[in-house]
Each structure stands twice: as C-alpha cells, then as structure tokens.
Amino acid sequence: DTAVSQTPKYLVTQMGNDKSIKCEQNLGHDTMYWYKQDSKKFLKIMFSYNNKELIINETVPNRFSPKSPDKAHLNLHINSLELGDSAVYFCASSGEGATDTQYFGPGTRLTVL
Amino acid sequence: QKEVEQDPGPLSVPEGAIVSLNCTYSNSAFQYFMWYRQYSRKGPELLMYTYSSGNKEDGRFTAQVDKSSKYISLFIRDSQPSDSATYLCAMGRGAQKLVFGQGTRLTINP
C-alpha cells in the first residue's frame, strides 16, 4: 500500500514539449505539495494545495501549473519544457495541522534533452 | 547567504562510529525542525521531528536544537551500513512551508 504515489517514475522528453506528472495520496491528508530537487540535492518547495486550494506558490515559472481535481490528487503540468527543468520532482502530503509532518512520494526523474 | 546551510559532505565513517550531522540557519522565526533520510533514488522519509529547542531521542538517533545559536544536530549512535544515505535537515515557521538544507551524503563502511 503506497501512501504517496507518483507517475511516471522516469520521464525523458525533448525541449519544448508539454508533460504532466501525476500524484496520488491515500493517507486522507488535506495538504499536498510539489518539490523540485536539483542535481545538487537541493529540495525546494514549488506549490502547496490545501483541500484543492492553492496556498503556497513559490517563485516558479508560469510554465508550471498544478491542478488538484480532488484532495487526494495533485498533478503537475509543465509547458514548453527547458533544459533547466531537468530534476527530480517530488510530491508530498501532510495533515491539515500546522505541525503535521510531510510524507514524500518516490519522485519523478525528468530529463529534458 | 542561504537560509539553511548544511555541509554536503560526503562523510564516510566506519561501522559502529558515532555520526554527527549539523545545520545552521538564519531565520530566527523557525520553530519546527526535522531530519529526513533519503536513500538513493528514493523519496525523503521523516526521521526526527522537534518543535522549538531541546533534545529528542529515538533509538540510535538523537536530534538537538539550539535556537540561541541557530544550530541543529542529528547524532547517530552505533552506526550501521544501512544508515548510509543522504540526510536532509528541514525547518520552518510551520511544518507546511519547509526550507531544506542541501543534504549530507553519509556512508557507513562495514
């Protein structure tokens, strides 16, 4: 029983393409996140949704658009992919409380050629 | 200057050694401090969670927070090869908007 799952695990694509990454959690959490981890292992928050509403939106290009169809899912759509978008993207979820810890998915390794 | 500083290592120690991992931070408003462990090609998993200052112990792991020095530590006693991973510190004013350190890559040699 995977708590936070992401698909696909690997994504290789050409510059300029549009791609999506899907995330699902079965923990009953209200809050979901997208993080980007670069080649130097820096993990940075991109977005956070609470019960389908955007609550955190860091300085991320408009080409990145999160979509939350329901509170168990948070998908990430990326338009016009660039070389610099190559990274590992992690989805995470947490309960509604300010002290609730975050549980991470296994990551999606995106390579833009 | 980064908000959270963490030496990326790599750090290599023999099995059974005591390991000390550290982070410094600049934002005095941080109240929540975590340590995550990340195995190669996996997602981070929560190891320790501390609110405000003080120590917390869980088995072979001890987390310390010194807010006056803006310094947090993770100690691993009787280190095992299975502890080999990247250790990420994370902190925030709340537990939702976390700032992560770069991670320290640790190898425990049998």
pLDDT digits (tens, 9 = 90+) for A72-104: 999 999 999 999 999 999 999 998 766 688 999
- Residue B102 near chain A (CB below 8 Å): yes
- Residue B31 near chain A (CB below 8 Å): no
Residue B34 scores a pLDDT above 90: yes
Mean pLDDT of B18-47: 95
DSSP state string for A13-81? E-TT--EEEEEEE-S--SEEEEEEE-TT--EEEEEEEETTEEEEE-S--TTEEEEEEETTEEEEEE-S-
- CB pairs below 8 Å between A and B: how many? 62
Determine how β-strand A10-13 pairs with β-strand A4-7.
unpaired
- Residue B29 near chain A (CB below 8 Å): no
In this predicted model, what pLDDT tens digit does every residue of A23-41 receive, in sequence order? 999 999 989 999 999 988 8
Across the strands, what pairs with A89?
A: A36, A108
Q: Supply the pLDDT for residue A1.
A: 62
Nearest to A98 among B43, B45, B95 (CB): B95
- Give the 3-state secondary structure percentages of chain B, helix then strand then coil, rounded to 5: 5, 55, 45
In this predicted model, what pLDDT tens digit does every residue of A47-71 receive, in sequence order? 998 888 888 888 789 999 999 999 8
Say if residues A111 and A11 touch (Cβ distance below 8 Å): yes
- Residue B8 near chain A (CB below 8 Å): yes
Contacts of residue A20, Cβ cutoff 8 Å, sequence gap at least 6: A75, A76, A77, A78
B89: nearest Cα among B31, B60, B56, B46? B46
Residues in chain A with CB shorter than 8 Å from the CB of B32 are 99
- Nearest Cα of chain A lies from the Cα of B21 at a distance, in angstroms, of 16
Contacts of residue A12, Cβ cutoff 8 Å, sequence gap at least 6: A110, A111, A113
Say if residues A26 and A92 touch (Cβ distance below 8 Å): no
Q: Supply the pLDDT for residue B48.
A: 92
Say if residues A23 and A91 touch (Cβ distance below 8 Å): yes
Q: Which of A44, A101, A110 to mutate to test the interface with B (most CBs of B within 10 A)?
A: A101
- Residue B34 near chain A (CB below 8 Å): yes
